[in-house]
């Protein structure tokens, strides 16, 4: 075969591969008009209600300043960004900001992206609340069940990520989440696996779970890294927003910014009897297990083995869901 024929064959295969990749996306969003839609909300609105098959929306690089809502009628939606650091969905509302009637928006009202639909997946996307250090300002609030975020970033200060749904199951894999105070908070059962949790200067609490009484699991961190630019001994692992809060860290690296006592009771001594704050095999300069508050728990190896995705999520296996090659980075 001549060099020219080989080159033509290579071009032909490349075109076929490009077509095959293009066909994996139902809609394309691009600010420059090269897709079907210029905004993410337009693409979400175009998804048929209660579709049983998955609708995949590819979002090209760009900063999309939109206050987004995925309604409960938009099920099985999958958002895929072109590049996690260049595909940015952002808005800048905050809790004490006034609406058109002169009323404060509140924590929920500050949200940049509301996720109400079940079976939602996002990959390779940055979700941001860009309001700055102005109090509560949520980047993403999640109410839908069986929600997955892979290789995503969540940027903000106070109350960055709000796993809100009481019966919502959520899985975060290879994600980056940053904030100052209570920046992972809410009722949901959420697993964070191989994630980086970045504690910013000016903050003091990572989690504020409000787990329902009787719920077997709340927030579970597996093989994560707690990093940050906060001063030494300045951050608690968590505090109980509600009395039955559950938060567990397993095989997690804790930076020097983690306080030796580990946990705070939110000035509610009675919550010490009902919360479940625990660790297993913590490492790093913040892993001062002997100095933890006496009402927290160090799990045994046998107890830690119970924290599997199967036990936590029951009939849902998030790792069986489709993912793009980029999400594995």
Write out the catalytic residue numbers.
159, 182
DSSP state of 263: B
Give SS3 for 1: coil
The alpha-carbon radius of gyration of the chain (Å, integer) is 21
Chain centre to alpha carbon of residue 252: 17
DSSP string, 109-175: HT-SEEE-SSS-EEES-EEEETT-SSSB--SEEE-SSSEEEES-EEE-SBT-EEE--TT-EEEEES-
**Is the CA virtual torsion 49, 52, 53, 58 positive or negative?**
positive
Residue of 193, 187, 153 lying closest to 172 (CA atoms): 193
Q: What is d(CA 29, CA 127) in angstroms, rounded to the nearest whole number?
A: 16
């Amino acid at each position: 075969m001549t060099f020219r024929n080989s080159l033509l064959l290579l071009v032909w295969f490349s075109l076929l591969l490009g077509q095959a990749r293009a066909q994996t996306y139902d809609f394309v969003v691009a600010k420059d008009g090269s897709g079907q839609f210029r905004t993410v909300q337009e693409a979400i609105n175009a998804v048929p209600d209660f579709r049983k098959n998955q609708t995949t929306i590819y979002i090209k690089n760009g900063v999309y300043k939109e206050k987004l809502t995925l309604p409960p009628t938009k099920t099985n939606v999958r958002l895929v960004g072109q590049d996690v650091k260049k595909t940015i969905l952002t808005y800048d509302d905050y809790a004490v900001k006034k609406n058109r009637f002169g009323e404060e928006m509140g924590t929920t009202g500050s949200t940049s992206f509301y996720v109400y639909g079940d079976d939602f997946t996002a990959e390779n996307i940055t979700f941001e609340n860009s309001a700055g250090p102005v109090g509560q300002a949520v980047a993403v609030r999640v109410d839908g069940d069986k929600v997955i975020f892979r290789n995503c970033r969540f940027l903000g200060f106070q109350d960055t990520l709000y796993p809100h749904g009481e019966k919502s199951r959520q899985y975060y894999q290879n994600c980056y989440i940053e904030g100052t105070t209570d920046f992972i908070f809410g009722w949901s059962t959420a697993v964070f696996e191989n994630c980086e949790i970045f504690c910013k200067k000016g903050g003091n609490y990572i989690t504020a779970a409000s787990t329902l009484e009787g719920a077997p699991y709340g927030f579970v961190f597996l093989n994560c890294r707690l990093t940050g630019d906060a001063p030494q001994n300045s951050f608690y692992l968590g505090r109980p927003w509600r009395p039955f809060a559950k938060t567990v860290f397993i095989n997690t690296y804790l930076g020097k910014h983690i306080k030796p006592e580990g946990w705070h009771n939110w000035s509610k001594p009675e919550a010490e009897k009902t919360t479940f704050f625990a660790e297993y095999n913590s490492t790093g300069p913040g892993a001062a297990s002997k100095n933890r508050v006496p009402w927290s728990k160090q799990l045994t190896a046998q107890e830690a083995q119970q924290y599997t995705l199967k036990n936590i999520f029951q009939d849902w296996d998030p790792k069986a869901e489709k993912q793009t090659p980029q999400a594995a980075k």
